[in-house]
Amino acid sequence: MINRQPAIHIPAISQWDEKINIKLSGFAPGESVEIAAEVNDEADVNWRSRAVFQADDAGEVDPAMTMPLEGTYRVKDQMGLFWSMKAADPTCAFQKKSARPSVFNIEVKQNGNILLRKKIKRLIISETIIREEVNAHGVAGTFFRPRSVEHPPVVIVLGGSDGGLDETTAGMLSNSGYAALALPYFQYGDLPKKLIEIPLEYFQKTLAWLLEQDGLNHERIGIFGRSKGGELALLIGSHFPGIRFVISHVGGGIVFQGVGLKRLRQTSSWSVGGSPLPYAPLPFFSFSLLGKWLKQKIKRQPQCYLDAYQHALRHVTEEHPSIIKAERIQGPVLLTSSTDDMVWPSAHMSEMVIERLKKHRFPHFFKHVCLKQAGHHIRPPYFPTTARNSTNIVYGGGTEADALASEAFWRELLQFLKDVVE
């Protein structure tokens, strides 16, 4: 008689964007086995996933090769237990903004009984990265520098309209050999409380601070922005020639009104020299949009802003002063967008940027990657993608589509950076 001893095989420590596999062995052929995963996010919300598999003829389970019989995901994917994690509250988005590692609990079960347990650690930054908190000359944020790279290129990383400091993307980029500055621009420390008339001079100070730092490749300073930060990245690139490449992720090439304004007041998101930049206002007072907004407000539903932005774009003519002059950017441009973005039409707005660059015979490389069936909330890979909205905003997309899009976005971003800095 064969003496089988169930075992779990998984790396104890791995990088967050690294694909890992949870393999099982020591089961009888054809036995059903459940793998469950859980983690608490930085808001102390518990996230869980599960998948039931049938052991193969060798008594092994390999999620990279086998589709689950049931569970929180139903496709063949070795990372499915990570991106399919759910919170009890469906309005929760996974809260992870620091560079601290996360500890996941992995359990193997049969008939409801726990057979095996293992804790694994997922790292945002490796031990070879120097993390430095920045608060100098009016510039705030976190700077990540790889020890193993001499004169690394630099990426300034901007978040979106949620504000505050998000270290995750910058930290993960530093693992790939880039010095990265996670740069908040409102709702952090002494910075403005709302995304209203944010001065571009703040980003000029940021560039000056980076140029003062020894050991960096000052000829390869670029900028990445997500969502509203994608709009800002294109704007900064068009204003400051020291920016040598731009990535706009689910963003757009038009300056819109500020975020967090009271309905009766409108002004720009950005300013120069104390004066607001020309902007496209949102038509919240049109009859159809006002009715929809009031209905969502009364029912305390998260709001879909897509219609408002689409309506605003009808009034943005080809030479409207709110259009960002992306053709002035002094280097390559990457635009990534999604087709089911319910926050704003990032795919259409990104294509507008491409058409403008073509019209002006932009001399540098440019590319638009449109992520099919994905929503607005596309982060680097293997974050949970189950949230369709936050408490306030509808994102769009779908769990599996967003997971695939996250991988594609990250792959395109790293390839673009590799191509433009070498």
Q: What angle do CA 189, 190, 193 make, to 5 degrees?
A: 85
Q: Three-state SS across 346-415?
A: HHHHHHHHHHHHHHCCCCCCEEEEEECCCCCCCCCCCCCCCCCECCCEECCCCHHHHHHHHHHHHHHHHH
On whether the CB atoms of residues 230 and 216 are closer than 8 A, the answer is: no
Q: Is 376 tagged catalytic?
A: yes
3-class DSSP state for residue 106? strand
The span from the CA of 34 to the CA of 110, in Å, is 6
What is the Cβ-side half-sphere exposure of residue 389, based on CA atoms within 13 angstroms?
Answer: 13
Helix (H) or strand (E) holding 171: helix 168-175
User: Please, what sign has the CA dihedral across residues 242, 245, 249, 253?
Assistant: positive
User: Tokens 């306030």 correspond to what residue?
Assistant: 392
Comparing C-alpha atoms, which of 45, 42, 49 is closest to residue 77?
Answer: 49
- Of these residues, 62, 162, 307, 341, which one is catalytic? 341
Cα separation, 87 vs 386, in Å, equals: 9
Beta strands 333-338 and 366-371 are parallel
Which is catalytic among the residues 239, 249, 368, 376?
376
| Catalytic member of 84, 227, 269, 271 | 227
Q: Which are the contacts of 202, defined by CB distance < 8 A and separation ≥ 6? A: 138, 139, 185, 191
One-letter identity of residue 305: Y
Residue 405 near residue 383 (C-beta atoms within 8 A)? no
Please name every residue paired with 50 in a beta bridge, in sequence order, or none if there are none.
Answer: 36
Residue 265, token pair as written in the block: 């007041």
Concatenated DSSP letters of 9-46: E--SEEETTS----EEES--TT-EEEEEEEEE-TT--E
CA neighbor of 232 nearest in space, from 284, 272, 281, 190: 272
Active site residues: 227, 341, 376
